[in-house]
Amino acid sequence: MSPGKRVDVLDGWRSLAVLTMCLWHFCWDLTLFGLLDRAAMQSWTAQLVRAFIVCSFVLLAGISSRYSRSNGRRCLRLALCAAAVSLATAAVGEPVRFGILHLLAVGTGVYALLRNALDRLPERAALALWGVLFAAGTFVPARVRVSVPWLWPLGLRTTGFFSADYYPIVPWLFLFLAGAAMGGLLRSSRAPWLDWKLPRALTWPGRHALGIYLIHQPVLWGSLYLLAGP
């Protein structure tokens, strides 16, 4: 498969993740307005749904890095959007210091810089390696606190650190790289499902995921504010 080619099944997967994200955030916003018990969002079901959303976005971004004609441009676009999110959320008192967009910008940039070396790794071995490192990394940063500030992009936080959305480089970069390895396997694969064509309604949200991500919360929160009041 050639670089830049759209794969409808991947866009469909991304669409499912985007729409599920909107539903999850809508439920979260309901808790902020006192219309839903916050305990519901801490349930195993809610957390599994959240894990599906995040892992889908990270894996798909890694897979897409193998298809992209310019990861440098993708990195810059994601970094600018991440900066905009940080500024906007800081202005309303819920700062996002290193959220999902920050992570995807870093992952895309790392892949752009190291692509020649990463692409030479055997895909199956690389997938296993990054998967193991991701699994191992999930147990370390969350349990470590440091006294040195500004290490939070790496997953090392001070006691008072807060970020409304937080997906640090360790361990999430390893999942991004696992996605890149998956993308390599897909590019060399002749699986017939890669050529399946899906209805536009199923792929459109996935093809506009970044725009939907940026506007969905202001729309949802603003709508609830108008309907339910402060």
pLDDT exceeds 60 at position 4: no
Stretch 112-135: mean pLDDT, rounded?
96
pLDDT band for position 228 (50/70/90)?
confident
Q: Is the pLDDT of residue 47 over 70?
A: yes
Sequence-ordered list of residues with C-beta below 8 angstroms from that of 110, at least 6 positions apart, any chain: 173, 176, 177
Tell me what the mean pLDDT of segment 14-36 comes to: 95
3-state SS string for the chain: CCCCCCCHHHHHHHHHHHHHHHHHHHHHHHHHCCCCCHHHHHCHHHHHHHHHHHHHHHHHHHHHHHHCCCHHHHHHHHHHHHHHHHHHHHHCCCCCCECHHHHHHHHHHHHHHHHHHHHCCCHHHHHHHHHHHHHHHCCCHHHCECCCCCCHHHCCECCCCCCCCECCHHHHHHHHHHHHHHHHHHHCCCCHHHHCCCCHHHHHHHHCHHHHHHHHHHHHHHHHHHHHCC
Predicted local distance difference test score (pLDDT) of residue 193: 87
What pTM, to 2 d.p., does this model score? Answer: 0.94
Which band of pLDDT confidence, cut at 50, 70 and 90, is reported for residue 138? Answer: confident
* Cβ 181 vs Cβ 123: under 8 Å: yes
Report the pLDDT value the prediction gives residue 31, as an integer from 0 to 100: 92
Band of residue 3 on the pLDDT scale cut at 50, 70, 90: low
**pLDDT, mean of residues 5-15:** 93
pLDDT at site 6: 85
What does pLDDT average to over the chain? 92
